[in-house]
């Protein structure tokens, strides 16, 4: 089975949620959520609002990325759902207190 090495989010298309692409992702429309991709190209009409993680990034003049950007050389990019779950677990562990509860007076 042959895979498509290019995913295009066309102009006029708006996506809300986490988006994961194992190949090249071309953003001509808008994304509100976390984006993970091998290579991400944000065209002049494109915009991303959220955390963007990729290995290669190109933002053409007029393209917008609003949020955190991570360009990494890691072998495996995180799946957005798994990354969010790990962040929530880490946050929950940070809110816990170690030791016995304080004594009531």
Per-residue pLDDT, 98:
44
Contact 43, 26 (CB under 8 A): yes
Query: What's the mean pLDDT in 61-84?
Result: 82
Comparing 51 with 84, the larger pLDDT belongs to: 51
Pick from 4, 28, 26: nearest CA to 14: 28
Per-residue pLDDT, 83:
66
Average pLDDT along the chain: 82
The reported pTM is 0.71
CA dist 36 and 25 (Å) reads 9
Answer yes or no: is pLDDT of 24 > 90: yes
Assigned token pair, 6: 């290019």
Q: DSSP class of residue 51?
A: -
């Amino acid at each position: 089975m042959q895979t498509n090495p290019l995913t295009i989010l066309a102009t006029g298309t708006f996506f809300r949620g986490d988006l994961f692409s194992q190949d090249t992702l071309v953003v001509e429309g808008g994304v509100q959520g976390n984006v993970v991709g091998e290579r991400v190209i944000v065209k002049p009409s494109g915009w991303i609002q959220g955390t963007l993680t990729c290995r290669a990034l190109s933002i053409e003049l007029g393209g917008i990325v609003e949020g955190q950007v991570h360009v990494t050389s890691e072998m495996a990019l995180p799946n957005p759902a798994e990354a969010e779950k790990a962040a929530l677990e880490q946050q929950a562990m940070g809110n816990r207190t170690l030791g016995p509860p304080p004594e009531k007076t």
